[in-house]
Structure 1
Amino acid sequence: MALIAASLPVTPAQSSAGAIAVPLCSGGAISIPLGDDPAPLPEPCPLKACHAGSCRKQFDRSQ
């Protein structure tokens, strides 16, 4: 019986809001937007959270 269910084609359900709703195996769904909308810009990280290394305490290696 599981072989029959596995052989059925699974197609995503079309949504009317310009996105495709894809069902997941866990029972949930994910929405994939359609169109050429630009991706939103990420928020800038605050200085205290950056780990670039320039703001870290420098040690004198000659000690």
Structure 2
Amino acid sequence: MRRTVLEQFPAGGPRGSRPAEEFAAARRGEGVAAEVVMDLERDAFLVVVPHQPTDRGRRSAGP
């Protein structure tokens, strides 16, 4: 599954601070299916959404 990274946050934030979770929650409040994943190689939290294929060339199923 491909994902698009919306934002990244360093893993070494202040204790009790969860900026990635707060950012993802705000996006979910806007209707975006955002989730937080850990990138071990970068030592960072990533806020990602599922990759949405483009609908170019498709017709809408209207009346």
Q: TM-score of the superposition, structure 2-length normalised?
A: 0.22
Question: RCO higher in 1 or 2 (8 Å CA, sep ≥ 6)?
Answer: 2
Q: TM-score of the superposition, structure 1-length normalised?
A: 0.22
Q: Which one has a larger percent strand, Structure 1 or Structure 2?
A: 2
